Amino acid sequence: MKGLLTFFMVLCSTSSAFSQAAGQSTGATFSRPATLPALVPAPVSVKLGNGLITLAKSVVLIVAPGTDPESVALIRSILTSSGVETIGTARQLPAALDHLYLVIGQEEAPVVRAALARSAATADSHAEGYTLASVAMGSGALITLAGHDADGLYHGVQTFRQLMQHPGFPKLVLQDHPAMPIRGTIEGFYGAPWSMESRSKHLNFLASVKANTYVYSPKDDPYARDRWREAYPADILKELGKLVATARRHHINFVYAISPGPSVCFSDPADLRLLEQKFAALRVLGVHSFYVALDDIEYTKWNCVLDAKTFGPPSAEAAGIAQAKLLNAVQASLNAHDPAARPLIMVPTEYYDAKESPYKAALRKNLDPKIVVQWTGTDVVPPAIAIADAKAATKAFGQKTLLWDNYPVNDYAQTTGRLLLAPYARREAGLSAELTGILANPMNQEAPSRVAVTGVAAFGWNDKEYDADRTWNYAARVLAGGDEQATAALMTFFDTQHLAPTFGSQPWQPQAPRLKAMLDEVREAIALGDNETRHQAIKNLLRQAAEFTSAPDIIQSGTIDPAFAQQARPWLDAMRVWGRALQLTAAGLDAADRRNSAAAQRYFANAKQLAVEATAIQTIPKVTRFDGPIKIADGVLDKFVAEASTLIAVDAMETD
């Protein structure tokens, strides 16, 4: 059996195509064969050519007129960080190429069309789409990046970044575009909201996985919920303005959400004006997308007498009519005041199922069809989402819905003491035909949230080719900066946080499946194996326990994103103690196997004491909604440590 870290090791390459090819002439090919690159999200179409382009340290960059400046800046940054020393410029391609030429721009530009033609490639015609073509020509080479629009070009640059980490730049024609028009996150959790620094980093991360939407909706922002009628103080508006500018640079649509439901008077023109004023203040900052959240409220009572006079006695149906009236007025206001305004988004009070009801019927009948409706699936935290579920939601709400996916959010009681680090899974391929998009609700911990959100973005981009485990490994590799040892340590840690709870008693993803499989093999070897099999299993467990214990130190060594290590600190501290408990448990089994009763009993007792200490480690106060003891592979590791002393009889053994 391989060691635990080795068992979790994933293939990665840290050297760039440019550094691999330093000193070689442009246009030659490597001796190694061309291989299909591992890209996340998976592209729609890749035609792999024969051979790899050898790239030198000098590149000629041709930028089509009017090209998105952020894409150009990012391309230059990627080239420089990959070892390019000289970036020349030109306006047109020469007849014969004697250098590497890189052409970027939108597909309608003449120089881009010419480059695509010489590469035997056609432009992708979908919104946010792009084409990336690379070909060797004589003593030179040509790489073309053609965006259908500015967003598509920026997405293409993200793919170029990944290809630059491939060992040799492959000859290929890649066409790509998203399956869903809305992909990203909604900061909609309870508990401590993210800092502005974390939000800025998150926007950069979203761009790297080709997401395009971030909804600002922290439940604990008083000016967006409890005190929504009050204007933001100038200092907070200034910080929000910086965040909006960061989103714009990264081609992320910044959506401002407000939650007036607990106190709004739906029929009061004064409340409508206050909503308009709040949105107008954000519009000055550059926000053109707005959202009204009506979730987590009581809808069978009115907040004002005027609503009772206008809509009659409170009921679910009356609430749907009242909400539609206010939302339609907000949409009309957006249309009148902002030509660039995107459709209003709303989350209904019945967001958690697709069952027919008087409330949904009222919304379906009265809501402006331009307004986008969100929905969380078949439950607040659904165990799975199928195409049939989305079709039922379309029927119930009268339009395709935008999925609010409550994973990996950890703001409900069943998540106390947990990070949710399992892969994004159990969403049926083909959902893109029935949804307008997916927004994940992340954890209070921004950097650890990227593990699952990478999967959400990849699924939203290409749900039909989505591979949950491969994307999971990719997320670890990115956090580890491509370092193999650090990637393996992260995968070991992720496994201890694999459990994905629901609002009920049964999780929708199990805890520590890889660790459990390894420990079950040890149990089987002890119970059923011969002497040699038993000895070897215990020897392997000793090694694996040492690797498990070392994982937190590797994660905190500085190779891995410091924000991840900081936000996961109590979990890493607890894992380290649990690792020592596992080491002592393995030592106890080894002593028992050698019939050393006293040593075995001592090891087992010390292991159980460490387990008590590990269980006492608490979450960081006031970060998550519910504070409590840290959970590490609970139900798997703790169970093994507790029962290990019973696996080999020790009563009649020899002593030290």
> For residue 403, what is the DSSP state?
E
Q: Are 54 and 126 in the same domain?
A: yes
Distance CA 477, CA 481 (A): 6
List Cα–Cα distances, 307 to 122, 347, 389, in angstroms. 57, 20, 34
Q: Are 376 and 238 in the same domain?
A: yes
Q: Which pLDDT belongs to residue 146?
A: 99
What are 499-522's pLDDT values in tens digits?
A: 999 998 899 999 999 999 999 999
Q: Which pLDDT belongs to residue 606?
A: 99
By mean pLDDT, which of 42-56, 174-188, 231-245, 381-395 is the weakest? 42-56
> For residue 195, what is the DSSP state?
P
Residue 360 backbone zone (phi > 0: left; psi -120 to 50: alpha; other: beta): alpha
Separation of CA 608 from chain center:
36
Q: Mean pLDDT score of the chain, rounded to an integer? A: 94
What are 588-610's pLDDT values in tens digits?
A: 999 999 999 999 999 999 999 99
Q: Are 285 and 214 in the same domain?
A: yes
Torsion of CA 355, 357, 359, 363, to 10 degrees: 70
CATH number where 199 lies: 3.20.20.80
Q: Are 447 and 519 in the same domain?
A: no
Say if 163 falls within a structural domain.
yes
Range of the domain at 60: 4-176
The rounded radius of gyration (Å) of the Cα atoms in the chain is: 28
pLDDT (mean) for 69-81? 97
Say if 50 falls within a structural domain.
yes
Q: How confident is the model at residue 243 (pLDDT cuts 50, 70, 90)?
A: very high
Q: Are 87 and 147 in the same domain?
A: yes
Is pLDDT of 124 > 60? yes
Please give the tally of structural domains in the chain: 3
Taking each helix axis from N to C terminus, what angle separates 150-163 and 69-81, rounded to the nearest 10 degrees? Answer: 10
Say if 575 falls within a structural domain.
yes
Query: Between vectors from CA 251 to CA 249 and to CA 254, what angle results, nearest 5°?
Result: 90
Domain boundary among 479, 498, 530: 479
Q: Are 383 and 471 in the same domain?
A: yes
Q: Which of 220, 226, 268, 296 is catalytic?
A: 296
Q: Where are the beta strands (DSSP E) in 468-587?
A: none
Q: Are 168 and 197 in the same domain?
A: no
- Does residue 296 have an active-site annotation? yes
By mean pLDDT, which of 9-13, 65-69, 229-233 is the weakest? 9-13
Say if 498 falls within a structural domain.
no
Q: How confident is the model at residue 16 (pLDDT cuts 50, 70, 90)?
A: very low
Q: Are 371 and 232 in the same domain?
A: yes
Distance CA 247, CA 235 (A): 19
Q: Which pLDDT belongs to residue 3?
A: 40
274 or 168: whose pLDDT is higher? 274
What are 334-362's pLDDT values in tens digits?
A: 999 999 999 999 999 999 999 999 999 99
- β-partners of residue 509 are 500
Say if 487 falls within a structural domain.
no
The order of strands in the sheet holding 169-176 is: 45-53, 169-176, 130-137, 140-147, 100-106, 58-63, 86-89
pLDDT (mean) for 214-229? 95
Domain boundary among 464, 479, 494: 479
Q: Are 286 and 320 in the same domain?
A: yes
Q: Which pLDDT belongs to residue 655?
A: 52
Q: Are 266 and 383 in the same domain?
A: yes
CATH number where 125 lies: 3.30.379.10
For the chain, give the number of residues. Answer: 656
Distance CA 25, CA 314 (A): 77
Q: Are 350 and 474 in the same domain?
A: yes
The distance in angstroms from the start CA to the end CA of the chain is 30
Q: Are 282 and 411 in the same domain?
A: yes
Q: Which two tokens stand for residue 85?
A: 């020393």
Say if 75 falls within a structural domain.
yes
By mean pLDDT, which of 21-35, 129-143, 633-647 is the weakest? 21-35
**What DSSP letter does each residue of 259-279 carry, written as one string?**
--TTT--TT-HHHHHHHHHHH
pTM reported for the whole predicted model: 0.94
Distance CA 224, CA 439 (A): 19
Is pLDDT of 202 > 80? yes
CATH number where 558 lies: 1.20.58.460
Distance CA 375, CA 393 (A): 8
Cβ(9)–Cβ(551) below 8 Å = no
Distance CA 540, CA 534 (A): 10
Q: Are strands 289-293 and 182-187 parallel, antiparallel or unpaired?
A: unpaired
Say if 490 falls within a structural domain.
no
Q: Which amino acid is at 393?
A: A
Domain boundary among 422, 454, 479: 479
Taking Cα atoms as reference points, which of 225, 221, 227 lies closest to residue 193? 221
Say if 433 falls within a structural domain.
yes
What are 560-569's pLDDT values in tens digits?
A: 889 999 999 9
Q: Which pLDDT belongs to residue 55?
A: 76
**What DSSP letter does each residue of 274-328 carry, written as one string?**
HHHHHHHHHHTTT--EEEEE--SS--SS-SSHHHHHHH-S--HHHHHHHHHHHHH
